[in-house]
């Protein structure tokens, strides 16, 4: 049993693929069906890795938080105590990309020390050139606590595992 537990949250507008990303990471599965998450869903996955030749493991508690809609904003209380967060946007929907900054601000307002990954999801639905442009436009890597911006696809699994792992490792680092 992992003796270190960390809470991470997935934040983003509705239907950007938060639940799918988690599903891909935890169960390595994908479904086209859209299931709206109500409230919160919590998943758990133990991530093991070696840091400085020491085998480490972290018990990731992944909070899948109901996406933000026009009518309902994300409850900040769900974000409390999260060590990290993955802010998700849907590259096929510009308005979700526009929301990224707002989500970032919200997360940092609750967890000033938190680490963040930005996932530009549904990369399987866009062509290369567009991807490149979007990555250029929405790059938050300059922010000190934003670890990276990845173009992910829950469908193909592209960058999903990597993103989660990196986040997990970075959350552990200060302790090592």
Partner 1 sequence: MATTNQANGSNSNSQSETEIQENLNTLIDLISELNQVEENLTSSNQKDKINKKQHYKPDKDITLEIKQEKKSASTSTDNNFRNKEENKNPILGKEKNLDSLPQRHTTNDNSVIEEGVTVVAEGRSDYEMGIQTPSLSKQCTDDGVLEPNAPKAKSLTLAINQPSQITPLADNTNLVYISENKYTKSQKSIATLQQSVKNLENKLKDNQHQLDEIIDSVNSLISLTVELINLQSNTSPTSIVSIIAPLIDRIIETRSTEDLQIMGKALSTVLPVAITQQIAATPQSIAKALAPEIALSIQEQILLDKESISRSIGPEMGKAIKAQIELERDAMVDALYPVIGSTIAKYMGEVVNTINEKVENALSVEGVKRKIRAKVQGVSEAELILQEALPYQVQAIFLIHKASGLVIRELQPDLDHQLESDLVAGMLTAIRSFANDLISDSSELDEIDYSEYKILLEVAGYCYLAVVVKGEPSKQFRQKTRDVLSKLVLKHGNIIEVYDGDSSTVPESIALLLEELLEQDRQQKSSGSPSTLIWLIVILLSVIFVPWGIFKYKNYVADRVLQQAAIELDAAPELSVYRLTSHIEQGKLILSGRVPSEYLRNIAAERIAKIAQEAKLTLENQIVAINVPTDPTITQEEVERVTSILNQQEGVAILSDYKDYAVTVTGFTLNQTRDALIAQTFKQIPGVEQVIINLDKQLPIVDNRIYFASGSLELNSADFTNSVNQIGQLLAMYPQLHLRIIGHSDRSGIPQDNQKLAQDRANKVATALIAQEINSKRLYIMGSIEPPPGVTANQPLQKSRCVRFEFFIPDRGKNTHNS
Using alpha carbons, list the distances in angstroms from residue 111 to 7, 19, 145: 11, 22, 11
The answer to whether residue 176 forms part of the interface with partner 1 (CB under 8 A) is no
Contact between 61 and 78 under an 8 Å Cβ cutoff? The reply is: no
Longest dimension (CA), the chain: 49
Interface with partner 1 (CB under 8 A), residue total 22
What character string, x for contact with partner 1 (CB under 8 A) and - otherwise, covers 49-78? Answer: ---------xx-x-x-----------x-xx
**Residue closer to partner 1 (CB basis): 61 or 131:** 61
What gap in Å lies between CA 175 and CA 77, rounded to an integer? 25
Residues 6 or more apart in contact with residue 71 via CB below 8 angstroms: none
Torsion-angle region of 17 (φ positive above 0: left; ψ -120 to 50: alpha; else: beta): left
CB atoms within 10 A of CB 46: 13
**Residue from 15, 19, 56, 83 that binds partner 1 (CB under 8 A)?**
83
Position 82 contacts partner 1 (CB under 8 A): yes
Nearer of residues 57 and 139 to partner 1, judged by Cβ:
57
Please select the residue that binds partner 1; options are 28, 31, 44, 101, rule is CB under 8 A.
Answer: 44
Residue tagged 């200060």 (tokens): 174
Smallest separation, CB 35 to partner 1 (Å): 17
Binder to partner 1 among 42, 125, 132, 137 (CB under 8 A)? 42
Residue 113 CB, nearest approach to partner 1 (Å): 10
Binding to partner 1 by residue 100, rule CB under 8 A? no
Q: Does 112 bind partner 1 (CB under 8 A)?
A: no
Q: Give the Cα separation of 105 and 122 in Å (integer).
A: 23
Binding site for partner 1 (CB under 8 A): 3-7, 39-40, 42-44, 58-59, 61, 63, 75, 77-78, 80-83, 175
């Amino acid at each position: 049993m992992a003796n270190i537990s960390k809470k991470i949250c997935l934040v983003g507008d509705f239907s950007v693929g938060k639940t799918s990303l988690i599903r891909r990471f935890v169960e390595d599965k994908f479904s086209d069906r859209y299931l709206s998450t109500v409230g919160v869903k919590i998943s758990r996955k133990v991530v093991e890795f070696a840091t400085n030749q020491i085998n480490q493991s972290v018990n990731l508690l992944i909070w899948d938080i109901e996406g933000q809609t026009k009518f309902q904003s994300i409850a900040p209380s769900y974000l409390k105590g999260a060590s990290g967060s993955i802010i998700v946007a849907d590259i096929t929907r510009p308005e979700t990309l526009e929301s990224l900054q707002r989500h970032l601000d919200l997360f940092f307002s609750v967890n000033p020390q938190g680490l963040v990954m930005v996932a530009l999801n549904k990369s399987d639905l866009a062509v290369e050139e567009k991807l490149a442009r979007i990555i250029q436009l929405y790059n938050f890597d300059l922010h000190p606590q934003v670890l990276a911006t990845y173009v992910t696809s829950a469908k193909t699994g592209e960058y999903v595992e990597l993103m989660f792992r990196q986040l997990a490792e970075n959350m552990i680092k200060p302790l090592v």
